[in-house]
Amino acid sequence: MEKPYIIKQISIFSENRPGRLAAIAGALRDAEINIFAFSIAEANGFGVVRALVDRPEDAHRRLTDLGFRVSFTEVIGIRMRDEPGGLSEIASVLGDLGVNIEYAYAYSGRDGAILIVRVDRIEDAIRQILDRGGELLKTPSSR
Amino acid sequence: MFWNRVMETIRPEELADLQLKRLKWTLRQAQEVGLYQRKFREAGVSPDDIRTLDDVEKLPFTYKSELRAGYPFGLFAVPLREIVRIHTTSGTTGKPTVVGYTCNDLENWSELIARNMTMIGLGEDDIFQNAVNYGLFTGGLGFHYGAEKIGMTVIPSATGNTRRQIEMIEDFGVTAIHCTPSYALHLAEVAESMGKTLDTLQTGIFGAEAWSENMRVELERRLDLKAYDSYGLSEMYGPGVAFECLERSGLHLWHDFYLAEIIDSETGERLAPGERGELVITPLTKEALPLIRYRTGDVTRLIDNECACGRGQKIEKITGRCDDMLVIRGINVFPSQIEHVLRSLPEVGEQFMVYVDRVKHLDEMAIEVEMTRAGFSGELKDLARIQKMIAGELQSALGIRTSVKLVEPGSLPRFEGKAKRVVDRRGVL
């Protein structure tokens, strides 16, 4: 039952220099792949571009063909109320459940606000969030 | 001032006799080594064919790679029980080059250092801070014993903790210091920041790196001392091979210990007197590790005019290398060593670039490597871990700290001919 809620995020290794994001975004544009959330994490001289896209397998293949180092990472998307206190509510739930967040990013769009999190014990986390009445994003293919 | 006036001012014809006698002895010593038995056979020469000094041209060269191949003790001409000291120097790949010394070798080495230091007026009244790496690096113990021999008060301060070094200079009244020229500049800068003028310091002996006349001017101005150049290499005992006298226009090479030739590094032909080329040395007194026509890789020329001090022929200050060896904070680094480390790591490719900079007068080496598929899990923390692991592997192989930068696959330049993987942005010191 947890499977549909595990979302494949694509993670792309990128040097920290001008034009790298443009190259990645351009490749996805040419393949007509839509990005609905993304973030950049940076370390010493390099970074990882993380993105949720509508066709992750295609994106992976396309970017790999172009020479990028790409891998899938499993994340979950938690729906939040798009009003004051929305994030606090979700963060408290995760904290109470003892789920550790490795990293997170969020977007707020037409269908509300979504918190994308990379957690330890992902299946456990999904089950408990659903049990607590939380609402999770489903993977694009099963929507 | 002379330590050994007779040998330091020996007349040319007497010197030639002595050199020939010692060359013949060295050839007999080399015959004890499997490598030389083979090399002489392949070159079709026998030690008996060497009747004049010019006959040395018939002998084959010895390369650093051959020393490495003999790791660890393959080139020793005496049994290990006669070896009383081992030093090592970085080789071109994973294994270091091992050099050994008999009691007589150590005695000869100290004699050379004693000559060098006496030549610039140092002696019993001096307090000497030896601020180089003690241990396997020959610069530490080499100078240490030579300085003790002439009765100096020796402070084996070694490297590191610059503020403490400066306190010692001040508190102990240090009059002479030995270190790398880049470390001397760093020392000057830290001393200035501490408001210390280091008034007792009068003599600086700088070696293990090539340095320019501009650097001399700067060091002398900032440290208010006289700066002297020291040249040596572990394969020839260590420092002490050639040294500047008070005239400071070229370095006196000790011809009773070393037979020097200048060759064209491409063709191996001996060059005309005064021409600049690769220095090739046949040491004449080495018992443990005799070497024949050793290719130093260092570029210089023999200076013809006589020196006012009365000593023998000088060589010009070393102006560069004819191979790709880098000297980073006094330590020899070959790009092939880096390649060797990277090849053993599946997380990164074999392409790399090395950038050498001087930051606050100290050499910094940065290495760019390409990620491979195996190396990328998608997680930033794994990348940071890989970066740290590579830096650790390089440190254990090279003996120096480097900063490692991960780059995208395919982003580093590919070379069709000779690879230019090193960008040295330090300029001349």
Report pLDDT for B258: 98
Locate all alpha helices (DSSP H) within chain A, ordered by sequence.
20-30, 56-65, 86-97, 122-131
- What stretch(es) of chain A map to CATH 3.30.2130.10? 8-73, 76-142
Mean pLDDT of chain B: 92
Residues B362 and B307 in one domain: no
pLDDT band, very low/low/confident/very high, at B329 (cuts 50, 70, 90): confident
Does B268 lie in the same domain as B174? yes
- Among B323, B350, B372, identify where a domain stops: B323
d(CA B23, CA B241): 17
B373/A43 Cβ within 8 A:
no
Q: Can you give the pLDDT at residue B156?
A: 97
B318 with B293, same domain? yes
Collect all residues of chain A within an 8 Å Cβ-Cβ radius of residue B371. 13, 69
Task: Let me know whether B316 and B376 are in one domain.
Answer: no
Task: For the beta carbon of residue B358, count every other beta carbon within 10 angstroms.
Answer: 15
Query: With contacts defined as CB-CB under 8 Å, which chain B residues touch A41?
Result: 380
Residue A69 at interface with chain B, using a CB cutoff of 8 Å = yes
**B270 and B307, same domain (yes or no):** yes
Contacts of B380 in chain A (CB under 8 A): 41, 43, 47-48, 103
Same domain flag for B205 and B336 = no
Q: Does A81 touch chain B (CB under 8 A)?
A: no
Indicate whether B304 and B360 sit together in one domain.
Answer: no
B74 falls within a domain: no
Residues B249, B390, single domain; the answer is no
Question: What is the CATH classification number for the domain harbouring B365?
Answer: 3.30.300.30
Angstrom distance (rounded) from CA A5 to CA B239: 69
pLDDT for res A143: 41
CB contact under 8 A, A46 and B383: yes
B286 with B354, same domain: the answer is no
Min Cα distance B357 → chain A (Å) is 17
pLDDT of residue A140: 64
**B contacts of A70 (beta carbons < 8 Å):** 376, 378
Contact B378 A68 (CB under 8 A): no
Q: How far apart are CA A32 and CA B273, in angstroms?
A: 72
- Looking at the complex, report in whole angstroms how far the Cα of residue B377 sits from the nearest Cα belonging to chain A: 6
pLDDT digits (tens, 9 = 90+) for B350-382: 788 999 998 877 889 999 999 887 778 888 888
More confident residue, B204 or B333: B204
How far B375 CA sits from the closest chain A CA (Å)?
A: 9
- Residues of chain B with C-beta less than 8 angstroms from the C-beta of A69: 371-373, 375-376, 408-409
CATH code of residue B273: 3.40.50.12780
Hey, is the C-beta of A46 within 8 angstroms of any chain B C-beta? Answer: yes
Same domain, B250 and B269: yes
pLDDT of residue B20 exceeding 70, the answer is yes
Which CATH fold would you assign to the domain A8-73? VC0802-like (3.30.2130)
Indicate if B283 and B336 belong to the same structural domain: no
Among B381, B383, B412, pick the best mutation site for testing chain A contact (most A Cβ within 10 A).
B383
If asked whether residues B394 and B312 sit together in one domain, one would say no
In a domain, B337, yes or no: yes
- Residue B12, in any domain of the structure: no
State the DSSP string of B197-230: --TT--EEEEESS---HHHHHHHHHHHTSEEEEE
Question: Which of these, B285, B281, B283, lies nearest to B262 by C-alpha position?
Answer: B281
In the predicted structure, residue B335 carries a pLDDT above the cut 90: no
Q: What is the DSSP letter of B244?
A: E
Average pLDDT over residues A101-115: 88
Select from 3.30.2130.10, 3.50.50.60, 3.40.50.2020, 3.30.420.10 the CATH code of A76-142. 3.30.2130.10
Q: How far is CA B176 from the centre of its chain?
A: 21
- Using CA atoms, how far apart are residues B358 and B356, in angstroms rounded to an integer? 7
Task: Using DSSP bridges, classify how beta strands B277-283 and B176-179 pair: parallel, antiparallel or unpaired.
Answer: unpaired
Among all residues of chain B, which has the CA nearest to that of A10? Answer: B378
CA distance B389 to B383: 10
Higher pLDDT: B346 or B252? It is B252
Mean pLDDT of A30-43: 91
Does A18 contact chain B (CB < 8 Å)?
no
Task: Report chain B residues touching chain A, CB-CB < 8 A.
Answer: 371-373, 375-380, 383-384, 387, 405-411
Domain boundary among B300, B323, B346: B323
Question: Which residue, of B323, B350, B376, is where some domain finishes?
Answer: B323
Asked if the Cβ–Cβ distance from A43 to B411 is below 8 Å, we say no
Distance CA B231, CA B3 (A): 18
Q: Which structural domain, as residue segments, surrounds residue B391?
A: 331-424
Confidence of residue B418 (pLDDT cuts 50, 70, 90): low
Residue of A nearest to B347 (CA): A69
Q: Do A43 and B371 touch (CB under 8 A)?
A: no
Whether B408 sits inside 8 A of A43 (CB atoms) is no
Residue from A69, A71, A73, A117 whose CB has the most chain B CBs within 10 Å, to mutate: A69
Average pLDDT over residues B60-71: 93
- Give exposure, B334-355, as e/b (b: 16+ Cβ within 10 Å): bbebbbbbbeebebbbebbbbb
Give the total number of structural domains in chain B: 2
**Is residue B243 one of the residues assigned to a domain?**
yes
Domain-embedded: residue B394: yes
Chain A: residue nearest B348 by CA? A69
Distance from CA of B183 to the nearest CA of A (A): 27
Q: Over 90: is that where the pLDDT of B304 sits?
A: no
Considering only CB atoms, which chain B residues are within 8 Å of A102? Answer: 379
pLDDT average, residue stretch B277-303: 96
Mean pLDDT value of segment B321-336: 82
Predicted TM-score (pTM) of the model is: 0.73
What is the rounded distance in angstroms from the CA atom of residue B164 to the CA atom of residue B158? 11
How far is the C-alpha of B364 from the C-alpha of B326, rounded, in Å? Answer: 12
Helix (H) or strand (E) holding B315: strand B314-315
Q: What is the mean pLDDT of residues B135-148?
A: 95
User: Best-predicted range by mean pLDDT among B47-51, B207-211, B331-335?
Assistant: B47-51
- List the one residue out of B198, B204, B233 whose CA is nearest residue B216: B204
Cβ–Cβ under 8 Å, residues B90 and B96: yes
